[in-house]
Amino acid sequence: MGPNLYRAEADMPLTRAPDPSFNPTIDGIDFAMIDDKQHRIVCHVSRETLQDRGARDGRDLDPPIDLFDVYRSEVEAVASRKYDTGSAKPVVTSDDLWR
């Protein structure tokens, strides 16, 4: 299965993992969050998604790591919601950040 595997049941919202909790990749940022059982959950947001979000504030040319830092709370909130609805490895998309 791909990165959007689904879990059988929803748990409590995810919280930010202790540092280091993110890793830049060729196509975006992998970031870790912690569930209510203290399991580390790897999430992902693409470079394109971060640039799309940044474009709304005129920041689309900023480096992805800087955009992640600016929008991290928003990205993490979306990842937590996706996890709560069953995604075992949440991937945050541009559409998610427009809602």
| Residue 53 falls inside a structural domain | yes
- Which residues in the chain come in under a pLDDT of 70? 1-12, 99
| Residue 4 falls inside a structural domain | no
Instruction: Indicate the pTM of the whole model.
Output: 0.84
Tell me: cis bond preceding 63? Omega within 30 of 0 counts: no
Element (H, E) at 15: strand 15-16
| Residue 30 falls inside a structural domain | yes
| Residue 38 falls inside a structural domain | yes
| Residue 28 falls inside a structural domain | yes
| Residue 93 falls inside a structural domain | no
| Residue 20 falls inside a structural domain | yes
Per-residue confidence (pLDDT) for residue 12, from 0 to 100 = 55
Per-residue confidence (pLDDT) for residue 62, from 0 to 100 = 82
Print the domain residue range for 50. 15-88
| Residue 7 falls inside a structural domain | no
- DSSP string for residues in 28-90: EEEEEEE-TT--EEEEEEEHHHHHHHHHTTT-TTS-HHHHHHHHHHHHHHHHHHHHHTTBSS-
Count of structural domains, the chain: 1
